[in-house]
Structure 1
Amino acid sequence: MNALQWTRDLAMGVRFALTGGREGWTRALLTAVGVGLGVALLLLTTAIPNALAVRHEREAARTDITFVDSAPLSRADDTLLVANVGTDFRDESVRGRELEPEGPRAPLPPGVAEFPAKGEMVVSPALKELLESDSGKLLRERLPDRIAGTIAEEGLIGSSELAFYRGADGLAAHLGSGRVTRIDHFGEADEREPLDPVLLLLVVVMLVVLLMPVAVFIATAVRFGGERRDRRLAALRLVGSDSRMTRRIAAGEAMAGAVLGLLFGAGFFLIGRQLAGHAEVWHVSVFPSYLDPSPALALLVAVTVPAAAVLVTLFALRGVVIEPLGVVRTARPARRRLWWRLLLPLGGLAMLYPMFGQGNDDGEFNQYLVVGGVVLLLVGVTALLPWLVERVVTRLGTGGVSWQLAVRRLQVSSGTSARTVNGIAVAVAGAIALQMLLAGVDGDYTKDTAYDVTRAQMQVSLPEDVPVTSAAAKFGRTKGVRGVDAYSEGYLGDRREDPERSTMLTVGDCAALREIATLPSCRDGDAFAVIGAEYDTDTEKLAAPGRTLYLDPSYEGGPKSKEIPWTVPEGVKEARPRIGPTGTEQMGFLVTPKALAATAGPALTGQIYLRLDESVPDVQDLVRNTAAAVDPLASPMTWSAVERNERFTAIRTALFAGAACVLALIGASLLVSQLEQLRERRKLLSSLVAFGTRRRTLGLSVLWQTAIPIGLGLLLASAVGVTLGAVLLRMTDTTVRVDWSGVLSMTGIGAAVVLVVTLLSLPPLLRLMRPDGLRTE
């Protein structure tokens, strides 16, 4: 058959779809909406790499304070002093900087038109909205400066980012503290390390798992209205077309719906692109301009979707005999064979097996084998589900009228019902596998912080010139603070410059010192030397009474330090080490305030540990407000028992954001599919109502028709998901443990989506159950 004949037949199918009256364009519209939802998500997916790249570029372009060793800059007319005054508000991070230009050519941060004066600040649009709202009252107390402008898009990484720059003076006195630096430009080169093999495996599997349900739904959407279409094709046979021509015409109809779906998808994507600028998922937001699909990937979607529509239609019609007087599919279909359906998941396991036990230490994973193996396992769900539904429904017994109506419908057309739930089954199987993989490797990317959160829940680091005693009193008066331990800390050396031996000096009252060491007795004026602390070999040798030591000694290549002399007092007592709230043993000298001369104060920095009453609303923010009132450069930190690898956390966040989008698509696609099935059965439902069948009975029958395939689909998805999860854990050389709570939660989420869709389809169902639905032309 030549290409010209193919083109003519496909074109005829397109004309039938677009000019075939209400029946034709209704089917084309349903197909277009279904395909369009899938295409929109595919376009969004192709745009995600660009969005992530732009976010990283924006972050790199505004980099200012780094911890890379480099020669300190001298003051010049093109230098700028920058202080990190970032904070947190509830569970949101607020990026903050104080700016002090030192000359007319000082660099401006990206997105800022001019430097704010002292007492002024420029803020991100999201922060401005928050500060002007009632919910931002606590944060407004911390940021009282006048808002003089907003940060433009090029200075932010997302539309919902909370960020500000404010004017300052006197920052030079804090250079070298780690929170203030001098720069002559913004931006640093990208020096990120590549992902380790396990994280790369997570990313690859995540992309496959998120995209597979979309592909399955697109394949399902092009088959909407299949039974009515086949009856129309029988009429074509009656006027002279052969079976091959009829199938090509059907493929043309599907292609028309798919092409129209591309247009719908582009429209949905543009709408979603704009809405994305107002959305935040798991603290991640983007600007609409970030979501630009890769031209090559967008072209691939534009070519693949219509081609897939043609192939799926031809594949679906391979077992349908279309004759001039009807469609033979209305007879009892042949029983589905199992053997070839098992080959798909077995082939997937065979592709993944060679990578068992590799993990991070034993080599990288072959990405092509990973993608192929995961795809085959998930496609196996779509192949096995129709067979499983057919086998189960043929054995279902008698019951009520609604049950019998549902079972008989499934026995006649089990394939249609299975196709409807394929997408949700694939999504649940993939989600279960990823949940198991995440839970299995979580321990490799999570570590204990060693902080004893039962003894303190927050820590505040004070600048050197802030008196610790008065600051501790202010924190003690803060609502929700149950206890305060305050220390002044510094380093001691045996020489002014480049000391051979060094240790720590800690100043605090007796109650605070007992939190970090075991003391024989204590009163104000005592001094102690901690003997026997781990990794400390110098304190005992430096503890001779009358010996002169130097606070804050200087080191070669570093800035000049204070080098304040301190004499070891007579009667220094011996103390034994104790694990402190930070999880480490305190070393060096412990001194009560009266035992230390006032001249030592400038060489000490304050550390305050707070015990909180966490039943008080926003207690952490109340502490942060107090810290800002004590000094803008005070650094409060909330303790947690564990911390996760940033990249692992980012991947988890991306997974949850992607899963939310896929679930939204699946819900919408299931609703469209349900409405299409109800439209197909409109006359049947109207006939049953006309003969006296109660609407309640019909409604229950429709619910059963949904519940049975969904139940079987979730059962199969759980089995395949657990299998795939176990395989992925073996690949990462991790002990295989089934996260049953994760399995149940993923299955429950899938069932909840179906329940919501079913409830939304009830109003259209009630409208269809009317005798006037028997009207025809």
Structure 2
Amino acid sequence: MSSAMVRQWYRDLALGVRFAFTGGREGWVRAVLTAVGVGLGVALLLLTAAVPNVLTTRDAREEARQDRGIGYLDDNANSKPTGKSLIVADTDTEYKHLEIRGRLLEPEGADASPPPGLGKFPAPGEMVVSPALAELLRSDAGELLRDRLPYKEVGGVGEAGLIGPGELAYYAGADGLAQRIDGSVVARIEAFGTSTVDQPEEELDPILLLLILVVFVVLLMPVAVFIATAVRFGGERRDRRLAALRLVGSDGRMTRRIAAGEALAGAVLGLAFGTGFFLLGREIAGSVEVLGVSVFPSYLDPSPVLALLVALTVPAAAVLVTLFALRGVVIEPLGVVRTAKPARRRLWWRLLLPLGGLALLYPMVGQGSENGEFNEYMVTGGVVLLLCGITALLPWVVEAFVARLGSGALSWQLAVRRLQLSSGSAARMVNGIAVAVAGAIALQMVFAGVEGKFTASTGQDPTRAQLELALPVGLPVSTAGEELKRAKGAESTAALSDTEVSSTAKDPDEWGYVTVGDCAALRELVKISSCRDGDVFTVGASEDPVAAKLMTPGKTLYFDASYSGEEQGAEIAWKLPETVRKVTERTDSLLPGMTGMLATPGALPAGAEDELDSTVYVRTDPSVPNALDEVRNAAVAIDPLIRTWEWESTTRADEFTDIRTGLLVGASAVLVLIGASLLVSQLEQLRERRKLLSALVAFGTRRRTLGLSVLWQTTIPITLGLILASTVGLTLGAVLLKMTNVPVGVDWPSVLSMTGIGAGVVVLVTALSMPPLVRMMRPEGLRTE
């Protein structure tokens, strides 16, 4: 491009910018509408650009306060206090299915450092809490929780100690923890967040990487579509104004460049609006929690490179989209030849986009997790082309459909005629939501299809027990079991203990497991015809030769054997009774698949109870409100170090759950953008038709008829758009499932729900546009400048 041509482009674009801001009220309104539409998209793009920093900051905060598995002193159970050491006890809990992070702290050295977010250690009996937990404790909903945390609140956890403003967390002071160090629940550390071992990073499963790529594309594509739509606001009036430029001597190319300059002005103003929307949204984000995820405003700091990319791409896209839109519009000195019947749109080149997308994705069919990683560029390009195919096909579909519509009620005729004259505008309005629905359908299919790969059975039966409570070392199971049995909300309990027994007292090479419980508890595991305290049983011994040898009646076994070079064990001898009965496992055993010995407490030698790891299984009373939390409260009253888990039949991989949560959070933000952008687009179209609406009312057309016509003008293209979106979404979902080597299946409830959400957004936007429509249907609308 020569220097003269560059100067000509610059002059024409600058003239267009001047027209946008000096063209009177009409120019300003169009520029503001464009800026609002572009600004909403820019705000979401900046939010997306901040995602890497959000993830990095949350991980850094979590690492900085880490106290489990890192920073431990060697041989933690036998470690000695130092000038920097402190003891930390893990007291995490749940309250009404909300996770609460809890720690008991006992500083030992004068130079011990408190965890991030705390200025000093709380004294025994005192606690500092996160703002969200403080609010919960003060509310009526936190009544039961106040009983579980019997500490005096003396301060708050600072932002540096939390991963989000909605996190529930507390630190409480304690004493006497040194005698209870076990290296897991209670540990001695010298610092928070310091790692002594470099742990290799786990490679992300190729399927999860595929999901992440598709999620980002699906969430960003509607934003790009809305920005491209926003820069074309007021297109028809603009084209009529441009016709006047031909009267004063400008040629067609110059006129198009001036139009591009107007769009550029709106886009640049949109960048300013978008920055403002983003800053406002960032402040609001600190008080909003979506699906359990919350972030501090400081987390939302866009990457400078990505922010610069947005700042350059949006204005450039505005110019290119405008030039592309005017390629088929003939602007003459006496008018715009778009008022005549337009030429029919061609289908062949529109089909190339989705076919090209399928061609990029097809070579990766059948890879899955075992057959190599997916090509990131081919995945991204293929999904983008498929979704772009919707924006290319929808105008053709709308035009072909409305061309065949016949007569009907007056409101129907007005709507159909308007769509026949400007089907492109109607298609542009629903392009974004169609792309969003198609992407959501495809992702829901993939998530449903691959869920089984990342879901594992826990072997737990929630109908047999709802809570599992692990007792800390030193707490007698007999005492804890009896107190939990009397707890409010507990229908029945089974207190079970287990440990290893060996054939010799020193350096054994054969050992087996023994499970201890009273007769009622053992009957939760196996079928026992008769039982009394002092009995010993075997289960599954025939499947394990070593266990069968150890379980010989009259044989002497040993608890806590000693090993050479290690600390001396207790070496408690246990002589089996002369009668050891064989029993069979229950089909619904609390601990399915167990083998070894079962013993009642009376059969054990003195001192053996101290060597047992004990767990109490609780079946809650469904008639007691908040039964789970009542039992947790009773457990904390016995000993705050009792760990509690709610039973679930299955568990999902954390990465899979995080990606799905990220999708839902991002989809929520995109949904808000969709609604806001659609409303702006609808208002812009109504503004362009204000004189026509006023004229129809002046000639006696009922306002109800015009309102219905606007509703039909929205309903017809959105219905076609959702049908096309469902078709493309199902196709994309099927291809992605084939790529992950998973059988293709359609999650129809998700498909219908995604389609319904899209339709619901349009209905809501249409309802919100009715009051402005009524105001525009007044005779004053016939006035002109």
TM over 0.5: yes
After superposing the two structures, state which structure 1 stretch, 36-45 or 9-18, moved more. 9-18
SS of 1:193's equivalent in the other structure is: coil
Amino acid at match of 1:35: V
Deviations for 1:612-662, whole angstroms, at most 9, x for unmatched residues? 234543222112111111110101110011100000000000000000000
Aligned to 2:34: 31
**Distance in structure 1 (CA, Å) of the matches to 2:209 and 2:24:** 51
Contact 2:71 / 2:191 at 8 angstroms: preserved in 1? no
SS of 1:538's equivalent in the other structure is: helix
Aligned to 1:320: 329
- 1:185 paired to 2:191: yes
Contact 1:686 / 1:772 at 8 angstroms: preserved in 2? yes
- Percent of paired sites with the same residue: 64
Aligned to 1:550: 558
Change (3 A) 1:612 1:565: same
Written as runs of structure 1 = structure 2, the 5 A alignment for 1:51-450 is 51-66=54-69, 71-72=75-76, 73-176=79-182, 178-187=184-193, 188=195, 191-450=200-459
Deviations for 1:225-278, whole angstroms, at most 9, x for unmatched residues? 001101111111112211111111110000000000000000000011111111
SS of 2:102's equivalent in the other structure is: strand
Match of 1:625 among 607, 628, 633: 633
**Distance in structure 1 (CA, Å) of the matches to 2:446 and 2:563:** 48
1:315 Cα deviation after fit: 0.5
Deviations for 1:463-499, whole angstroms, at most 9, x for unmatched residues? 1322323323333333332221112322212233432
Contact 2:329 / 2:337 at 8 angstroms: preserved in 1? yes
Aligned to 1:45: 48
Q: TM-score if structure 2 supplies the norm length?
A: 0.96
**Distance in structure 1 (CA, Å) of the matches to 2:718 and 2:410:** 21
Amino acid at match of 1:302: A
Written as runs of structure 1 = structure 2, the 5 A alignment for 1:626-665 is 626-665=634-673
1:533 Cα deviation after fit: 6.5
**Distance in structure 2 (CA, Å) of the matches to 1:93 and 1:554:** 40
Aligned to 2:739: 731
Q: Which runs of 4+ in 1 moved over 6 A?
A: none
SS of 1:330's equivalent in the other structure is: coil
Aligned to 2:615: 607
Change (3 A) 1:326 1:584: same
**Distance in structure 2 (CA, Å) of the matches to 1:672 and 1:21:** 21
- 1:10 paired to 2:18: no
Amino acid at match of 1:59: E
SS of 2:573's equivalent in the other structure is: strand
1:94 Cα deviation after fit: 0.8
**Distance in structure 2 (CA, Å) of the matches to 1:709 and 1:557:** 80
Q: Which runs of 5+ in 1 are unaligned?
A: none
Contact 1:533 / 1:587 at 8 angstroms: preserved in 2? no
**Distance in structure 1 (CA, Å) of the matches to 2:602 and 2:44:** 68
Change (3 A) 1:260 1:533: farther
Written as runs of structure 1 = structure 2, the 5 A alignment for 1:475-624 is 475-532=484-541, 534=543, 536-555=544-563, 561-578=569-586, 581-614=589-622, 616-624=624-632
SS of 1:486's equivalent in the other structure is: strand
Change (3 A) 1:716 1:147: same
Root mean square deviation of aligned Cα: 1.7
1:525 Cα deviation after fit: 2.7
Amino acid at match of 1:11: A
What is the number of equivalent residue pairs in this alignment?
Answer: 776
**Distance in structure 2 (CA, Å) of the matches to 1:345 and 1:660:** 27
1:582 Cα deviation after fit: 4.4
1:224 Cα deviation after fit: 0.2
Amino acid at match of 1:4: R
Contact 1:577 / 1:587 at 8 angstroms: preserved in 2? no
**Distance in structure 1 (CA, Å) of the matches to 2:595 and 2:313:** 67
Change (3 A) 1:544 1:33: same
- 1:458 paired to 2:497: no
Change (3 A) 1:226 1:533: farther
Contact 2:538 / 2:580 at 8 angstroms: preserved in 1? yes
Deviations for 1:334-358, whole angstroms, at most 9, x for unmatched residues? 0000000000000000011111111
After superposing the two structures, state which structure 1 stretch, 502-511 or 272-281, moved more. 502-511
1:528 Cα deviation after fit: 1.8
- 1:744 paired to 2:744: no
1:544 Cα deviation after fit: 3.4
Amino acid at match of 1:532: A
**Distance in structure 2 (CA, Å) of the matches to 1:323 and 1:394:** 27
Deviations for 1:545-568, whole angstroms, at most 9, x for unmatched residues? 443322233456766544333222
Contact 2:542 / 2:548 at 8 angstroms: preserved in 1? no
Deviations for 1:312-349, whole angstroms, at most 9, x for unmatched residues? 00000111111111111000000000000000000000
Amino acid at match of 2:140: D
Amino acid at match of 2:630: L
**Distance in structure 1 (CA, Å) of the matches to 2:774 and 2:630:** 55
After superposing the two structures, state which structure 1 stretch, 415-424 or 449-458, moved more. 449-458
SS of 1:506's equivalent in the other structure is: strand
Contact 2:572 / 2:605 at 8 angstroms: preserved in 1? no
Q: Which runs of 5+ in 2 are unaligned?
A: none
Contact 2:540 / 2:594 at 8 angstroms: preserved in 1? no
Change (3 A) 1:255 1:490: same
Contact 2:105 / 2:173 at 8 angstroms: preserved in 1? yes
1:104 Cα deviation after fit: 0.9
Aligned to 2:776: 768
Change (3 A) 1:22 1:190: farther
Deviations for 1:362-401, whole angstroms, at most 9, x for unmatched residues? 1111100111000000000000000000000000111101
**Distance in structure 2 (CA, Å) of the matches to 1:418 and 1:673:** 12
Contact 1:40 / 1:265 at 8 angstroms: preserved in 2? yes
Change (3 A) 1:562 1:155: farther
After superposing the two structures, state which structure 1 stretch, 37-46 or 16-25, moved more. 16-25
SS of 1:217's equivalent in the other structure is: helix
Q: TM-score if structure 1 supplies the norm length?
A: 0.97
Deviations for 1:54-73, whole angstroms, at most 9, x for unmatched residues? 10111111111128996434
Contact 1:533 / 1:585 at 8 angstroms: preserved in 2? no
Contact 2:85 / 2:188 at 8 angstroms: preserved in 1? yes
Change (3 A) 1:555 1:95: farther
SS of 2:541's equivalent in the other structure is: coil
Contact 1:689 / 1:771 at 8 angstroms: preserved in 2? yes
**Distance in structure 1 (CA, Å) of the matches to 2:780 and 2:564:** 95
Contact 1:686 / 1:768 at 8 angstroms: preserved in 2? yes
Contact 1:579 / 1:585 at 8 angstroms: preserved in 2? no
SS of 2:545's equivalent in the other structure is: coil
1:597 Cα deviation after fit: 4.1
After superposing the two structures, state which structure 1 stretch, 740-749 or 342-351, moved more. 740-749
Amino acid at match of 1:432: I
**Distance in structure 1 (CA, Å) of the matches to 2:564 and 2:626:** 46
After superposing the two structures, state which structure 1 stretch, 580-589 or 257-266, moved more. 580-589
